[in-house]
Structure 1
């Protein structure tokens, strides 16, 4: 498959690197040095030029392309790029935008702007944040099989009662599968005797209720949040508040700009909007921000978000989540005390990569960037899985963990003697290098 990626920033680079493993990738960027550097670092073709320029797209081979991904930092450039590509070719067009209003317009009119699929960075980020803060210690959450199956990545705190126990001892949940343990830079496929250590990140697949119960077992002192404070009335902050209101929360939102604060108060009836500077310690103490269960920092830059979250943690806030615009800073934020750092660029890149692959599958979730995946497939009549028990299948796929099966909407916990049937939706964990082999078998 030939893929043209317009924009060689963090999002475009991540997409190009992932897709170049199995596809022919051409990267277009207006900055010639950045385009050349990308071609030097990975197996892609590069072209310096404006993605909205028809001549540039034709030089990139748009007429022969299967997919074009417009991923610059400018919404209008991405929209025009897709429209231009549609004028001369039949490539499937994907546009990245930040502002939800473009997404709403696109959703109301099929193929608006000449775009086949649109991804809104701010809304994706807000959804990721709300999914994470709903479960104590969760680092990532994703749903499969129409919400019947949940993948959750939990981090084991130092004083967790689960730390020091084997997987067999910790596995007290009938509808849950321990799919992987991420320890330092290693991804481990656990067995019953694998011992869980503090600071491990555990990937589980199962019924949402079992995932919540395991989260409570990891950190029994941390209940689901009641008091959520959002710092910053940016578009992401606004979207987080809206999503929380839909889930019957009454968050507090701090916004420094008076006009923006009034605008937010008019549109968020269940949210208490406070007009102040979220880095003012006296204000934070006066409003008892330290008593909050979760603080979400969605300010204008990384430095402000880091300061706000560290101030809140110092005052006693139980959990802090920060938006980090620079992807390389995410690990740094978590190292200095932020509980979870969410990168809009990484979230967007993962969603685009996931979509390009999920055209072959029902759903995909990326783990550890692009090192492993949780995939959902529907078993076809000619699948090698059909009619066989899982204990036979795993001999062919030794590095794959069968996490859950849904059959006619009913959840099934996979065991060795579980026979896979045609039409089953199977959710599996696999390292990325094994995914092609999995899809060939399926």
Structure 2
């Protein structure tokens, strides 16, 4: 398949990396430095130029393209790219947009803007925040198989009950698989006698109940079931969408917005949310409004630095958990080290959603972990799969290392995989895969 990716930023680069081994990928960007960088870092053809110009699209081979992905940072540019593409050909078009109102317009008008599939970055980010907030201590979380299976990543702190335990001792749950330990730069596929160390990140896959029980064990932080009050800082689209989702779940939510006009607009559109007009970096205001009594603070301002400051202030006055939007991916680890509990990067969230549509047809869902060091895939097994009508222990012998079968669903029922489990046609299998072997795994599975 020939794929043209317009925009060589983090989103475009991640998508190109997921496709360059199996497809002919062309990346277009106006920035010569980005073009040069992606030429050397990925097996792609890079074209410098304006993706809204027909001449640039023709240079990229639009007449033979099967898919065009518009992933620049400007919504209108991405829509124009898709429209220009449809004017000269009929490839499948994907547009990344930040503004949720554009997404809603597209959803209500089939084929609007010449876009076949649209990804709303702000809405996806808000949904990710709510999903992570539902599990105490989770740094990442995703659902698979229509909600039957959950994947989550947790950091093991020195005072965690499982620090120093073996995997077999820590595995006290009915339907849970310890898929991996992320230890420094290494990915460890755990055996029963593998010792879980402080500072490891543990990836688990299983039923929602078992993953939640594990979350309650690994960290003392409250889950949404225990949360009484949530404070959201920042009334931009991400903050608004996050408040709307929490409100729909019935949580007591407050939103702080500094701009008076925007605060009034939010109050009108969020009748179930208390909107406060003030500067959330004013610690006196935070104390006066008893923000210290909230269980969760979500920092959704448009500045990474201000989101970090809000999170640090919240921690200082006694808030138990903070989640912040971090636009610059290189800051996520740093911010989580100095005081933010979980950083959510909208660009990575968007890349995951688009990757969902660029994988092989049998891949139902995908989640990227640790800046794409590993992936969790959901596949539907057919007769071409190495798992088809085979015991898992036999199939694993022919698969590369660093692959773990985390869960199986069959006819709406969850099956916890064991070595003797036989996989059948139509089963949905959730698999942890190190990205270094992703292509080999995808071909076999």
SS of the residue corresponding to residue 110 of structure 1 reads coil
Asked whether the 8 Å contact 2:323–2:344 carries over to 1, the reply is yes
SS of the residue corresponding to residue 362 of structure 1 reads strand
2: CA distance, partners of 1:384 / 1:35: 38
Q: Partner residue of 1:359?
A: 361
Q: Partner residue of 1:240?
A: 242
Kindly report which structure 2 residues correspond to 1:26-425, keeping only aligned pairs within 5 A, or say none.
26-220=26-220, 222-224=222-224, 225-357=227-359, 359-397=361-399, 398-425=401-428
Q: Partner residue of 1:7?
A: 7
Match of 1:434 among 433, 437, 442: 437
CA drift of 1:323 comes to 0.7
CA RMSD after TM alignment: 1.5
Asked whether the 8 Å contact 1:166–1:193 carries over to 2, the reply is yes
1: CA distance, partners of 2:254 / 2:286: 12
Asked whether the 8 Å contact 2:134–2:223 carries over to 1, the reply is no
| TM value normalised by structure 2 | 0.96
| TM value normalised by structure 1 | 0.96
Asked whether the 8 Å contact 1:160–1:218 carries over to 2, the reply is yes
CA drift of 1:221 comes to 5.5
SS of the residue corresponding to residue 287 of structure 2 reads helix
2: CA distance, partners of 1:362 / 1:106: 23
1: CA distance, partners of 2:242 / 2:179: 29
- 1:216-250 deviation digits (Å, cap 9, x = unpaired): 01124634322211001010000000110111112
Asked whether the 8 Å contact 2:106–2:118 carries over to 1, the reply is yes
Distance 1:369 1:33, change over 3 A: closer
Distance 1:74 1:236, change over 3 A: same
Asked whether the 8 Å contact 1:152–1:204 carries over to 2, the reply is yes
- 1:109-167 deviation digits (Å, cap 9, x = unpaired): 22221111110110111011111111111011111111111111111222111111111
Distance 1:437 1:36, change over 3 A: closer
- 1:240-283 deviation digits (Å, cap 9, x = unpaired): 00110111112111111111111111111221111110000100
1: CA distance, partners of 2:313 / 2:170: 35
CA drift of 1:14 comes to 2.5
1: CA distance, partners of 2:164 / 2:181: 14
Asked whether the 8 Å contact 1:244–1:251 carries over to 2, the reply is yes
Asked whether the 8 Å contact 2:188–2:402 carries over to 1, the reply is no
Q: Partner residue of 1:23?
A: 23
2: CA distance, partners of 1:340 / 1:94: 29
Deviates more, 1:342-351 or 1:139-148: 342-351
Distance 1:19 1:386, change over 3 A: closer
Asked whether the 8 Å contact 2:136–2:220 carries over to 1, the reply is no
Asked whether the 8 Å contact 1:137–1:156 carries over to 2, the reply is no
Number of paired residues?
Answer: 442
- 1:174-195 deviation digits (Å, cap 9, x = unpaired): 1110001111111110011111
2: CA distance, partners of 1:25 / 1:383: 26
SS of the residue corresponding to residue 72 of structure 1 reads coil
1: CA distance, partners of 2:109 / 2:149: 31
CA drift of 1:402 comes to 1.1
SS of the residue corresponding to residue 252 of structure 2 reads coil
Asked whether the 8 Å contact 2:355–2:366 carries over to 1, the reply is no
- 1:353-374 deviation digits (Å, cap 9, x = unpaired): 2321153411111122222111
Distance 1:8 1:399, change over 3 A: closer
SS of the residue corresponding to residue 387 of structure 2 reads coil
CA drift of 1:381 comes to 3.4
CA drift of 1:330 comes to 0.8
Asked whether the 8 Å contact 2:356–2:364 carries over to 1, the reply is no
Structure 1's consecutive aligned runs of 4 or more residues displaced over 4 angstroms after TM superposition are none
SS of the residue corresponding to residue 253 of structure 1 reads strand
2: CA distance, partners of 1:417 / 1:46: 47
